[in-house]
Structure 1
């Protein structure tokens, strides 16, 4: 059976509704998954008109009602937004609704009614105004699933990167890395790719210092202290992981096909090569969520400046939906 992908609408005042409608006009998408939107049907109807689309919009109230037919966009209609919502503005109602779309998606995923979640962008300021004080989607998902150990994966057609640390300063990032975290992230990478159907995935770990420390020449032995014990523990469990390798050559090697996933030590180490190689089709994946919840997302924001104007490009969301289908459990 093709996996059911729950697509959350994100902030209704942003480009989420438009890129959802544009993505669901791609007929081949329906050959690999069964998409259903979790949001407000009236905003999807508006988006169809804005993008000059031809799809019909059908409001449903349970996943069992969905038929997943191309040409009909089915919306699990939470009906949370006011009729006078304004495009391109931070609004508490939109932030509150975006939270509840995700909460509903998590509920459905944990109940196995959907097989993966794909999120359109939300606005953090609107989210906070709506009373939900989270930094973003990832933290919402972690909270709703009761997950403490999770990580971000960035995906492009040529490169997959998982992070030991993300949104912290560089000094704090290095301080936060330890053998236990290294092991857990390597295992997350292995488990995520294995659940997606990959046999014995090849994982490589970046060094922290230039040239991965070059046998103590650079740094203060961070690789040997913080990375190597975690890598060795994973190897002892049969995980196909190696490193640490110099980051300046590892991403090139991974992009040419030597490895299936790279473990980056800090935000910019992993994000910069991904953005260079595929910002237009970049996808954000949250790995390690309890209950086996798979979540993918676009690698861009709400784009308030062009919302409601039929200028948003759907390629990142289209790729995110496809990756959600690929990453959905195969067993």
Structure 2
């Protein structure tokens, strides 16, 4: 499989994700292909959001945009797509208006009947696989390529809420009022995620990140009950499926935003090689909690990118010192604590990336 792709020139991120010590921390940024870049906005001016996702040449182009702009400064790329292609594959309509909107959300467990009884990811999501393969070739080995999926709890919340939410009233009503039906739907989503991740790896993804963006909306008890089992299901089954086909398992990264209470548990039993951390935990404390079990990724507050070069430099130094003091034996991948936001000046991101050499 790998013979069809150019040899990798920069393996820093892969080595750090596998738990090796690296000469300096590799760095990339969540949502690095996106609206803060004028070249991305130019593409979007004539193409609808999901049209870009579904057109491999466009998805590859916008994935490559930050790699070109910041050549030599980024140590990984991430395929341009969206976590909500999974609910689409399951038979739900999703619009971007400009945020995600489900015209016909799941209001009660009875509505689960509206979902497709089976999901063939190669039929529904082949465009993502094609985009990954094309992007791997066009990267010419400059940096490795991440694939990704949303986590079941986060996808479940969107499917029930019908979009983003501040209170998650509908999604939480489901898990509290219909716990068994909720667990069944969560595992159904998890099975699709497994198929989707395996397909991405076969297409050429060199790392996989699972985004549980709404993990922090659950109490520790409810996270352990409703989210953790599905995260373990994904890591366990992706590993076994790939091993059964003699395909090397790429590093698996889990970003359970806001679930810092669970870091020790996730390091011990989630089955992921790397845990992403947000800015609401001190890096040294994160290192202490995970010990020598996993590598870490994170964790500067994205809003610091609006505060000017001095503030960015100070925050980066503090972050680096924290991970250094924590002495995580499994390494660290530098990143923001969540995705870069649309109003950031691209030159301020460049400064953040250039600080790796200071």
What is the TM-score normalised by the length of structure 2?
A: 0.30
TM-score, structure 1 normalization = 0.32
User: Which is greater in Rg?
Assistant: 1
RCO higher in structure (CA 8 A, sep ≥6): 1
The answer to which structure has the higher helix fraction is 2
